[in-house]
Amino acid sequence: MPKRGKRYQESLKLVDRTHLYDVAEAVELVQKTAAAKFDETVELAVRLGVDPRHADQQVRGTVVLPHGTGRTERILVFAKGDKLKEAEEAGADYAGGEELVKKIQEENWFDFDVVVATPDMMGVVGRIGRVLGPKGLMPNPKAGTVTFDIQQAVEEIKAGKVEYRVDKAAIINVPIGKVSFGTEKLTENFKTLMSAIIRSKPAAAKGRYLRSVTLSSTMGPGIKLNGSKLMD
- The yes-or-no verdict on residue 2 having pLDDT over 60 is no
Q: Domain locations in the chain?
A: 6-69+161-225, 75-159
pLDDT at position 14 is 85
- Domain 6-69+161-225 fold: Ribulose 1,5 Bisphosphate Carboxylase/Oxygenase (3.30.190)
Phi, psi of 107 (to 5 degrees): -110, 0
**Cα distances (Å, whole numbers) of residue 220 to 4, 5, 106:** 10, 10, 39
- The yes-or-no verdict on residue 1 having pLDDT over 80 is no
pLDDT tens-digit map of 3-23: 677 888 888 888 988 999 999
pTM of the model as a whole: 0.84
DSSP string computed for 103-142: HHHHH-----SEEEE-GGGHHHHGGGHHHHGGGT----GG
pLDDT at position 8 is 82
75-159: CATH superfamily: Ribosomal protein L1/L10, domain II (3.40.50.790)
**Rounded CA gap, 150 and 183, in Å?**
33
pLDDT tens-digit map of 118-144: 999 999 999 999 999 999 899 999 889
